[in-house]
Structure 1
């Protein structure tokens, strides 16, 4: 639901921030543009270093920080885990976090959105922003 951005758009963001587009940064941006899941910095580093051994973890962190500061990506800190990243923009969504596997599942519910609006409004407020994270685990022994 986070809209993947193209590698070129990420490069433009870095250039606008005054950063050079080095080979390691190009590799990091390629990984981000592939848009698989909500990777953390170590996952990005491991994927990138498989492609280019010159990629350093510090370059990953610096690159992610600049992209976050520029609004190109969103950083999520899910309970008990490392920061994870996804492209910024796109339609609002919430997250289920599997506490056993760490998997992050995006979902959207119009009922939940309406209920949140109703609760805020009934107390004289309007929602400026919000984030819903549900920490879950698979139900065992339940027949479907």
Structure 2
């Protein structure tokens, strides 16, 4: 299973910026189960009110691209 540090390392190696919003989302994804993007958005927005739904979708797409999450019955952190 991917850990926060592994995800951040992989994002950096692909030239992606690690914004506060991305880091908050990674924290939520790696510590809590999220059934869908809106659930992730609500959980992350409680921590950082500056997170928008579009940011959540873009970040999830990026995390899918690197293989850190997959869309099944909700988003789950994948095995490394």
Same fold (TM over 0.5): yes
Q: CA deviation at 1:10?
A: 1.5
- Cα root mean square deviation, aligned: 1.6
Displacement over 4 Å in runs of 4+: none
SS at match of 1:47: helix
Question: Could you say which structure has the larger radius of gyration?
Answer: 1
Structure with greater strand percent: 1
25, 46, 70: which one pairs with 2:42? 46
**Corresponding position: 1:88 with 2:75:** no
Q: Call closer, same or farther: CA 1:29–1:75 in 2, change over 3 Å.
A: same
Structure with greater helix percent: 2
Which one has more relative contact order, counting CA pairs under 8 Å at least 6 apart? Answer: 2
1:47-71 deviations in Å (ceiling 9; x for gaps): 0000001111111111111111111
Q: Contact 2:34 / 2:40 at 8 angstroms: preserved in 1?
A: no
Any gaps of 5 or more consecutive residues in structure 1? 79-83, 91-144
Say how many residue pairs are matched: 80
Any gaps of 5 or more consecutive residues in structure 2? none
